[in-house]
Structure 1
Amino acid sequence: MRYEVENEVANVADVNYWKDRVSVEQKLWYDKGIEEVNMALKEPSTENTVKNVRIFVIEGIGYEELAANRFPLNINNSKENTNFVWDQFSHVARLKMNCIIPCPKNWIHQALWTGVPLDVLQMMNTNCSSQAKDGHLLSLLRQAQLAGLRTGFVTNQRLTGPTGAALYGKHASNLSNECEKQSSNETLCNDDIATQLIFGETGKHLNVIMGGGRQMFNHEVPVTNSDPIDDNLCRASYERNLLKNWRLQKLRQVEDQTRQRFELIQHFGELEAINGSKYDYLMAVLSNGDLNRNLKVSSFQLMLKKTLQVLNRSNAGYLLIVEQFVHAEMNKREQLQMLNETLTDLPRDKHTLNLVLFTSIERTLNGFLPSDSLVFVQGPKSSIFLGVRDVNYLAQAVTYALKN
């Protein structure tokens, strides 16, 4: 398409295309396109300081399904096209998966959150003696904590799943780490993920931890029709009460550090009632199994609202990681619309970097097969997310963005 320029112009919208070569209908869409180009040129610089980072991981929706659900069921009605908020973000990158063969799901999450490539993780010696000698990988959460940021992890799954294992587990090479060790002879690096969350350095310093999986933390749990025991998951052993351990741990911290307030809740009614801004630490374990299988689960918007109340402080930034798992039987169009509403309602400021990652990991007979993922980015330093990158690039790029 050629454009006519008679004078020097300061605004691209002042430049007209050859009207005698363009139909009325085509001119309508080119006018709209020129408006979008002009808006893009007015985008503020992405070189502001990054104070906060919010990462939303939507697992179960790949880029093909994401594209398909942008359109209405009635394709003849173009007015119903869905304009998702992340489609308006300034930058997008594709994260490629380098699994030569189907690989364990937790390796994929480790690559995502530690910055170590998948092929390197596949070759690493993951036995316990090697862990004790070389130390464990620091996740993005732990790196943020060491840099002085407040941190939070929110999931609609269980807190001990593959994402949790990669974020605060010392040794997440085996998914059986969700279950308690069977022998007292087993070493500390084989502690189950729930134990590592409560007693590990990353878990102890999390300001917000919110999700499901109560039956992995406590032996005695409330059981209702809407929140049954999940027989497909591990159960805590007799007399185990890690939630009590978390509370006792925080009580000791309060004695050492004055004005530290904390709260442990196990029901959505309690979550609705609290004012998160009054607390330094909040742990919410809201179902026995995966949170999204609890029939009385409240809105994800409420969970995020309370989380941000805890994390927001004028004297410190934060890193928040949010996991939303979309099961195959769910209506993915509805899930995307609800996510769109949630993200649209989030407070925005020029110092917050927002990332929305869509990923799909399918189970095969030999393991898990990941597809490439898309990450949409908006905010300061968003320009570093561009092109096709390895999956471990996400952790590396966020770490760079936070080094102000």
Structure 2
Amino acid sequence: MVTTQRTKEICQIIRLKSTQVFLVAGSCLVTVMVTLLCIGFMTRYEVENEVANVADVDYWKDKVATSQKIWYDKGIDELNEALRPTDFTYPKNVRIFVLQGIDGRDLAGLRFPNRDTSRGNTNFIWDRFPHLARLENSCSQQFPCEVARVSRAFWSGIPLDKVPESQEDCGRAFNATQTSISILRQAQLAGLRTGFVTTQRITGFTGAALGNTNGNFECNERMPRSAIESGCQDIAHQLISGETGKSLNVLIGGGRQMLSSLVPNTKYDPVDELLCESNDGRNLLKDWRTQKLRESKVNPIIFDLIQRSDELDSLNASSFDYLMGVMANGDLSGNSKAPSLKLMVEKSLQVLNKYKQGYLLIVEQFIPSGVDKREQLQLLNDTLVNLHKDQETLTLVLMTSAIYPKASLDVSEETETISLLPEIFNEPESEIQKRMYQMPSESLLFAQGLKSPIFHGVRKETFLAHAVSHVLSRSRTQT
């Protein structure tokens, strides 16, 4: 009897353990099946959405000729780069390089030095940027088309035909534009460090638009009496005393004769008689220094004002909060001892990187008439090549012809030229080339870095300001 009872107990134990084993085995089997299904779904998703490992990108190597293979190999490298998954991170910094005086036609021709195609083309660094957008030149459809208004359209994001015209009555001008601020001011209000570097005058069209100034007069010399009597200030005064100008961590360029009435007139840096010359006894450079001294008593800051290339070269810029450099009486092209673009950009970035809080740097390189364009392209190329490779930075290169002819309201210059082709091609070749060159051309915008994919397609001039504003606003939420 005892034996029978013991046998029953053993059988129950064995039955229980068998059930447990079955449950464990069943669970393992279900896990394996679920895992296989997930792998299958993921594989299908990757194939359908083209996010497979870039190492899988290939071609029929055994189907192409040996002479083709070397070129296909290079092309597949580019394709691998294009298929790399998009990073959803926003950049901490934005650098914009603006080349005034070069358009797509110039760039295409200047890739081949001395028109000798046998030497091969020059691979400028921006040609390797992964993304490109074209910005329309709406000057071909707007009237009037002033360069000052084009700059404001670029940097404020307001359509060209909506940019307020300059008013001699400063009260009216202020009321019309008080809600319009440039992306530079937007960046400052968001807590970013900001800088503007130009080979032109800091009071030029770009500087005036970025500084949110009113009017078109760089200094007092050519201002109408009515404007002066109504209390108007010229661009130089507004740039130094305005909130945008005062908040700039870096401001480097030319234009000393607009900022001071008494400037040294030397052989290597003469006064440019074609430009405005202040004659009211001003010294805005001294005013800037005094302003920073007052500020330092409230909030300790390190700042400097420099006016020579050797001063800039020897500067330990990474220790400065603010740096102002006025390196020529007029444009930097008029000063044979002006610093190089590369040096100005390097020192500017040292200042902007001081606190690692994010920055917006805008660099303008202006090409005067008669200057070797290919040489200027090479200067920009060398500057970009030597920049520190920063994974947190979006780099943009904007190339624009800086040609804004006045056109009629109802027809664009391009449309008008096409309609007159029979008559045009009966003109001398030199006249045809001149007419084609003066046609408004679209600007090219090359992009590299975080969020560069948003710069694509054909866009309005205003797209640049809108896109940069979006990127910077989102960048601050991630720091």
TM-score w.r.t. structure 1 length?
0.89
Give the stretch that moved more between structures: 107-116 or 358-367. Answer: 358-367
Which residue of 190, 193, 203 maps to 1:160?
203
Structure 1 residue matching 2:199: 3-state secondary structure: strand
- Given the alignment, which residue of 415, 433, 449 partners 1:379? 449
Whole-angstrom distance in 1 between the partners of 2:288 and 2:207: 16
Question: Which position in structure 2 is the counterpart of 1:38?
Answer: 80
Partner-residue secondary structure (3-state), 1:328: coil
Matched-pair contact (CA < 8 Å) for 2:319–2:354? no
* Corresponding residue to 2:266 among 215, 220, 224: 224
CA deviations 1:317-375 (Å, max 9, x no partner) are: 11100000112311111211221111011012221111000001226588997521010
CA contact (8 A) 2:201 2:331 kept: yes
Amino acid in structure 2 at the alignment position of 1:198: I
Instruction: Tell me: higher relative CO, structure 1 or 2? Use CA pairs within 8 A at least 6 residues apart.
Output: 1
Q: How many angstroms apart in 2 are the aligned matches of 1:294 and 1:93?
A: 34
Match of 1:403, SS?
helix
Alpha-carbon deviation of 1:386?
1.0
Q: 1:65 to 1:10 in 2, by over 3 A?
A: same
Residue number among 223, 230, 254 corresponding to 2:296 in the alignment:
254
Partner of 2:387: 346
Aligned with 1:73 (options 87, 100, 114): 114
Unaligned runs of 5+ in 2: 1-51, 409-437, 475-479
SS of aligned partner of 2:99: strand
CA deviations 1:220-247 (Å, max 9, x no partner) are 1111111001000111114211111111
Aligned match of 1:89 in 87, 104, 129? 129
Matches within 5 A, 1:5-404: 11=54, 15-17=58-60, 19-20=62-63, 22-42=64-84, 45-73=86-114, 75-78=116-119, 80-99=120-139, 100=141, 101=143, 103-121=145-163, 128-136=170-178, 137-172=180-215, 175-180=216-221, 181=223, 183=225, 186-188=229-231, 190-258=232-300, 260-362=301-403, 364=405, 370-404=440-474
Task: In structure 2, give the amino acid aligned to 1:290.
Answer: D
Alignment deviations for residues 62-105 of structure 1 (CA, whole Å, 9 cap, x no partner)? 11101111223354435x42111111112110000212245110
> Which stretch of structure 1 is more off in the superposition, 361-370 or 317-326?
361-370
- State the Cα distance separating 1:41 from its structure 2 match: 2.6
Distance 1:45 1:350, change over 3 A: farther
Are the structure 2 counterparts of residues 361 and 74 from structure 1 closer, same or farther at C-alpha, using a change threshold of 3 Å? closer
The alpha carbon displacement at 1:31 in A equals 2.5
1:5 corresponds in structure 2 to none
SS at structure 1 position matched to 2:206:
helix
Q: What is the CA distance between 1:128 and its match in structure 2?
A: 3.5
Report the 3-state secondary structure (helix = DSSP H, G, I; strand = E; otherwise coil) of the residue aligned with 1:16: coil
| Richer in strand (by share) | 1
Q: Residues of 2 paired with 1:11 and 1:252: CA distance?
A: 57
CA separation in 2, counterparts of 1:76 and 1:366?
36
Structure 1 residue runs of 5 or longer lacking an equivalent are 1-8
The alpha-carbon deviation at position 35 of structure 1 amounts to 2.2
Q: Which amino acid aligns with 2:199?
A: N
Match of 1:6 in 2: none
Any idea what SS the aligned residue of 1:357 has?
strand
- Decide which moves more: 127-136 or 208-217: 127-136
SS at match of 2:371: coil
Q: Closer, same or farther in 2 for the Cα pair 1:77/1:291, shift >3 Å? A: same
CA contact (8 A) 2:396 2:448 kept: yes
1:76 and 1:50 mapped to 2: Cα distance? 39
Distance, in Å, in 2 between the alignment partners of 1:395 and 1:157 is 21
The AA in structure 2 aligned to 1:148 is: G
Q: In 1, are the aligned partners of 2:132 and 2:445 still within 8 Å (CA)? A: yes
Alpha-carbon distance in structure 1 between the residues aligned to 2:154 and 2:183: 9
Number of residues of Structure 1 aligned to a counterpart in Structure 2: 389
Change (3 A) 1:160 1:370: farther
- Which of the pair is proportionally richer in helix? 2
Question: Would the aligned equivalents of 2:401 and 2:441 in 1 still touch at CA under 8 Å?
Answer: yes
Would you say the 8 A contact 1:48–1:350 is kept in 2? no
Alpha-carbon RMSD: 2.4
| Aligned 8 A contact 2:398 2:446 in 1 | yes
Deviations 1:281-338 (A, max 9, x none): 1110011011122111222111111111111134411110000011231111121122
Kept after mapping to 1: 8 A contact 2:148/2:205: yes
Cα distance, 1:123–1:185 mapped onto 2, change above 3 Å:
closer
Q: Which letter does structure 1 place at the counterpart of 2:190?
A: A
Cα separation, 2, equivalents of 1:14 and 1:351: 28
TM-score for both structures, normalised by structure 2: 0.76
How many angstroms does 1:134 deviate by?
Answer: 4.2
SS of the residue 1:323 aligns to: strand
Rounded to whole Å, the distance in 2 between the matches of 1:366 and 1:396 is 26
Q: Is the 1:103–1:369 Cα contact (8 Å) retained in structure 2?
A: no
In 1: Cα distance, 2:219 partner to 2:230 partner: 15
- Which range moves more in the overlay, 25-34 or 380-389? 25-34
Q: Does the 8 Å CA contact 1:161/1:178 hold for their aligned counterparts? A: no
2:145 and 2:404 in contact (8 A); partners too: no
